[in-house]
Amino acid sequence: MTGQLEAGRAAVKRGDLDEARLLLGPLVAESPAGPASIVLARLELDAERPEVAVPILDGFLAVRSDHGLASLMRARAHLATGDLAGARDDATRAGELLEDRSSAERVLAKVEAAEDARRVAALVERAAPLIGVIDAGHVEARSTGPSQEMRDAARELAGLPLEGDWTTDPNLSKIAFFVHAADPEEALRSYDAHLVEVSAEFGYITWPRRIQEHVRGRRVIDVGCGFGGFGVGFLVAGASSYVGLDPAMNMDSSAARNKRLRQRADMGITPRQIADDLPAIHLVRGKSEDLAFDEQFDTISLHNVTEHLAEPDLVFAGLVPLCHADTAVVFHHHNYYCWNGHHDPPVQPAQLDLSSPAHTAVYDWRHIDLLPDLPPGHRYLTGLNRIRLDELRAITERYFDIERWDEIPSSAATLDRFTPEILDRVRRTIPDLTERDLVVHAVLAVARPKRPREA
């Protein structure tokens, strides 16, 4: 017997799986709780035959229910066959039995991820016919009004239990559009299937989701919106209306930045079409300081805009009349003095190519050293205002009360490159730079209109 077990082990070792099965199978049949069961079950698991491993482990555990390793193996086998409840039970038991719980915890994490994915798949399947009704009719409904079937579908979608990543999965983004709307039937009028899909694809829902507490149910103005494609992202996060303004917006170009791929691409729709078709979205070409609005907004968003403003003080002053007492001014600022504050490649150390002159000119904070020698009109001088963190804070506080000021550190890979010598080097150009100036990647701030002082 021992000889046959050892021969079976040897066959596994040399990869002769058929021979191993021939040797181990009879041993398992004879003694289901013997060591051959563990060897054979592991072989079948490794051979991606979990459905064969499960009955072997069932036989073993029926006798030796306190065997941690066998429980862990059966948890893995159940996970692979899709028996998530079985996998959860076995992984939990293995965690109780094994001294080192880490393997069991890893399996449990995978079980949870699989359970999440299964729930999301069920949600998408349930929503599919409803989305189908709306997607088929929404363009025509702009002239005829939505059918009763479309209204019912919108209401039903709004009641679904949303979960999963609704910023990148277009089906979930469509469900989120109705779930987050205050009035799903009204939201139908500003729904566009293509625009929701492309907003998810281009990464235009990520920022509105990040600040969703200031978006859902709110009238939003997006200062420096860029292309204008952000509008539907805000509606997906539940904004009741959206005004986007930007001096660089070309109302008739469908070219936009794909934020996920970090490159320009065709969005398949122009700002003019978006604004014409969707009543909740208004797009305006112009600088915020030059425009007068006779309305006030619940939220003013500036995403990666403050580092580009030629006159930030003027722009912040111009935001004050757009506010009522509870307006939130929410901005994300990309700090010029951080590793990639130049806005050029490389955007992260993994992309650094030391054979590229463009990279070697700016990498490891060299874009700061370049400043005194840049020709007038260079983009770092005209397109980036190079505002310091404390200057931005002071300007914000001149017009608003700061409610939240989060300084977001650069990635670990970037921070690893920082040395005191680099700080000494950049100080030859700007003597009062601090380590903080160099390592803070961005600021996420929320500000509120100043409260009138009490007499």
Q: In what order do the strands lie in the sheet with 219-223?
A: 281-285, 241-246, 219-223, 297-303, 323-334, 440-449, 400-409
Q: Does residue 201 bind ligand SAM (CB under 6 A)?
A: no
Question: Closest approach of Cβ 83 to ligand SAM, in Å?
Answer: 45
The window from 90-98, 239-247, 348-356, 413-421 that contacts ligand SAM (CB under 6 A) reads: 239-247
Total residues contacting ligand SAM by CB under 6 A comes to 17
Of 77 and 245, which has the nearer Cβ to ligand SAM?
A: 245
Rounded-to-integer distance, Cα 80 and Cα 91, Å: 13
Rounded-to-integer distance, Cα 310 and Cα 304, Å: 14
Of 31 and 296, which has the nearer Cβ to ligand SAM?
A: 296
Question: Closest approach of Cβ 169 to ligand SAM, in Å?
Answer: 21
Q: Does residue 215 bind ligand SAM (CB under 6 A)?
A: no
The window from 95-103, 125-133, 287-295, 345-353 that contacts ligand SAM (CB under 6 A) reads: 287-295
Of 60 and 242, which has the nearer Cβ to ligand SAM?
A: 242
Q: Does residue 90 bind ligand SAM (CB under 6 A)?
A: no
- Interface positions, 246-265, toward ligand SAM (CB under 6 A): 246-248
In this chain, which of 167, 254, 270, 288 binds ligand SAM, going by CB under 6 A? 288
Residue 213, C-beta contacts closer than 8 angstroms, at least 6 positions apart: none
Q: Does residue 341 bind ligand SAM (CB under 6 A)?
A: no
Q: Tokens 């005829």 label which residue?
A: 144
Q: Does residue 289 bind ligand SAM (CB under 6 A)?
A: yes
Rounded-to-integer distance, Cα 182 and Cα 217, Å: 6
**DSSP structure string for 343-358:** -SS-SSGGG--TT-HH
Question: Closest approach of Cβ 181 to ligand SAM, in Å?
Answer: 23
Q: What backbone torsions phi and psi does residue 424 show, to the nearest 5 degrees?
A: -60, -40
Of 262 and 427, which has the nearer Cβ to ligand SAM?
A: 262
Cross-strand partners of 446: 330, 404
Find the DSSP H helices in 258-311: 271-277
Closest CA to 43 of 14, 71, 68: 14
Question: Closest approach of Cβ 152 to ligand SAM, in Å?
Answer: 36
Rounded-to-integer distance, Cα 24 and Cα 39, Å: 8
Three-state secondary structure readout of 60-86: HHHHCCCCHHHHHHHHHHHHHHCCHHH
Cα(first)–Cα(last) distance of the chain, in Å?
96
Q: Does residue 224 bind ligand SAM (CB under 6 A)?
A: yes
Q: What backbone torsions phi and psi does residue 147 show, to the nearest 5 degrees?
A: -70, 165
The window from 6-14, 152-160, 217-225, 231-239 that contacts ligand SAM (CB under 6 A) reads: 217-225
Question: Closest approach of Cβ 105 to ligand SAM, in Å?
Answer: 38
In this chain, which of 50, 208, 226, 271 binds ligand SAM, going by CB under 6 A? 226
Question: Closest approach of Cβ 242 to ligand SAM, in Å?
Answer: 13
Of 101 and 257, which has the nearer Cβ to ligand SAM?
A: 257
Q: Which residues bind ligand SAM (CB under 6 A)?
A: 223-226, 245-248, 287-289, 303-305, 308-309, 315
